[in-house]
Amino acid sequence: MSEPLEGRVALVAGATRGAGRGIAVELGAAGATVYVTGRTTPARRSEYDRPETVQETADLVTEAGGTGIAVPTDHLEPQQVKALVDRIADEQDRLDVLVNNIWGGETLFEWDVPVWEHDLDKGLRLLRLAVETHAITSHHALPLLLRHPGGLVVEVTDGTADYNRDTYRNSFFYDLAKSSVLRMGFSLGHELGPRGATAVALTPGWLRSEMMLDHFGVREDNWRDALDRVPHFAISETPRYVGRAVAALAADPDVARFNGTSLSSGGLAREYGFTDLDGSRPDAWRYLVEVQDAGRPADVTGYR
């Protein structure tokens, strides 16, 4: 049997690690050809100085059943992004799914530091990486996506529109960046909907990314060892969970019903019936409101 995304072409911008890698792999598992971008290659690391490379992500896409194509790209450089899109147009003559997942701000924001005390250069760099990159990529990629009806754009952020509307996200710059990306999903929905395409904003829950696992000194196979120190980490999810959310959206012929909206991995798991790799179905954003932010003891009963 053919896979649901066989013959479809996706670009996951910001796919070296974390959510981007999980999304790329799950699109590959559904049969797509996936172009993956990032700044870390075997020859050069980004300022994160981490070992994961965009080529490794492409290999994982292919191993999952798709076709992974790595194109090292700095999405702050418009000419590099234009060259990337021109390559996809030349090789595929189509783009069906664009995932704007570029971030790169983990080392730049300062928790619970007011804007007048926050390092200004770091804050402005964060906004460029988190917002400007998405705008540059959409500017160059959307004409190709609109060549064929039914295209999908996914703006990956942190937090749902409801949660971020009511919750200060610990830093002026972080709050602004993540809320801006939510608004991009809304704005692109207005621009793409009448032209036969769909745009959404999508958030994972508490992500067990490579960086998060390292931060807590655990691996994916023993991540629960961190629960003694961070009990609410029990609601966390793998990057593949949000990847399955994107794959489900891309395969849905009625995806336009979500146009311009804010979605979450946990909410889409209920909608489409997929699970995380361990067979659970974590619903992090409901948990955060009803348990963690409410000051209740950690207990994921009913939330995964």
**242 has pLDDT over 90:** yes
Largest separation between any pair of C-alpha atoms in the chain:
58
Q: What's 106's domain CATH number?
A: 3.40.50.720
Q: What is the mean pLDDT of residues 74-93?
A: 98
- For residue 299, report the phi and psi dihedrals to the nearest 5 degrees: -160, 110
**286 has pLDDT over 60:** yes
pTM of the predicted model as reported, rounded to 2 decimal places: 0.97
Q: With respect to residue 40, please indicate whether it lies within any of the assigned structural domains.
A: yes
Chain mean pLDDT for the chain: 96
Q: Count the domains in the chain.
A: 1
**115 has pLDDT over 90:** yes
Q: With respect to residue 187, please indicate whether it lies within any of the assigned structural domains.
A: yes
Q: With respect to residue 251, please indicate whether it lies within any of the assigned structural domains.
A: yes
The beta strand positions in the chain, using DSSP E, are 9-13, 33-37, 67-70, 97-100, 152-156, 198-203, 262-264
Q: Which residue has the higher pLDDT, 11 or 104?
A: 11
Q: What is the mean pLDDT of residues 75-99?
A: 98
What is the pLDDT, as a whole number, of residue 299?
97
The residue type of 289 is: V
Distances (CA, A) of 27 to 6, 32, 99, 145, 182: 10, 6, 11, 16, 22
What is the pLDDT, as a whole number, of residue 49?
84
What is the pLDDT, as a whole number, of residue 41?
87
Query: In sequence order, which residues have a C-beta less than 8 Å from that of residue 252 and are 6 or more positions away?
Result: 272
Distance CA(165)–CA(121), nearest Å, equals 26
The residue type of 222 is: N
The kind and range of the H/E element at 147 are none
pLDDT in tens, 132-150: 999 999 999 999 999 999 9
What is the pLDDT, as a whole number, of residue 2?
65
Q: With respect to residue 194, please indicate whether it lies within any of the assigned structural domains.
A: yes
Contact call for residues 75 and 81 (beta carbons, < 8 A)? yes
What is the pLDDT, as a whole number, of residue 208?
97
Q: How confident is the model at residue 106 (pLDDT cuts 50, 70, 90)?
A: confident
What is the pLDDT, as a whole number, of residue 47?
82
Q: How confident is the model at residue 263 (pLDDT cuts 50, 70, 90)?
A: very high
Which domain covers residue 161, as residue numbers?
9-204+239-280
What is the pLDDT, as a whole number, of residue 65?
97
Q: With respect to residue 166, please indicate whether it lies within any of the assigned structural domains.
A: yes
**68 has pLDDT over 70:** yes
Q: How confident is the model at residue 219 (pLDDT cuts 50, 70, 90)?
A: very high
List of long-range contacts for 281-286, beta carbons under 8 Å, 24+ apart:
282/205, 282/235, 282/236, 282/237, 282/241, 283/205, 283/235, 284/204, 284/205, 284/206, 284/235, 284/236, 284/237, 285/159, 285/160, 285/163, 285/203, 285/205
Q: With respect to residue 219, please indicate whether it lies within any of the assigned structural domains.
A: no
Please state the three-class secondary structure of 34-91 as a single string: EEEECCCECCECCCCCCCCCHHHHHHHHHHHCCEEEECCCCCCCHHHHHHHHHHHHHH
Distances (CA, A) of 240 to 9, 64, 227, 245, 274: 19, 12, 21, 9, 11
Q: With respect to residue 214, please indicate whether it lies within any of the assigned structural domains.
A: no
Q: How would you classify residue 150: left for phi > 0, otherwise alpha for psi between -120 and 50, otherwise beta?
A: left
**1 has pLDDT over 60:** no
Q: With respect to residue 300, please indicate whether it lies within any of the assigned structural domains.
A: no
The residue type of 25 is: V
pLDDT in tens, 192-208: 999 999 999 999 999 99
DSSP assignments along 222-254, one per residue: GGGGGGGT-GGGGG-B-HHHHHHHHHHHHH-TT
Q: What is the mean pLDDT of residues 113-117?
A: 96
The residue type of 227 is: L
**100 has pLDDT over 80:** yes
Distance CA(144)–CA(93), nearest Å, equals 8
pLDDT in tens, 153-165: 999 999 999 999 9
What is the pLDDT, as a whole number, of residue 109?
87
Closest CA to 208 of 64, 100, 110, 304: 304
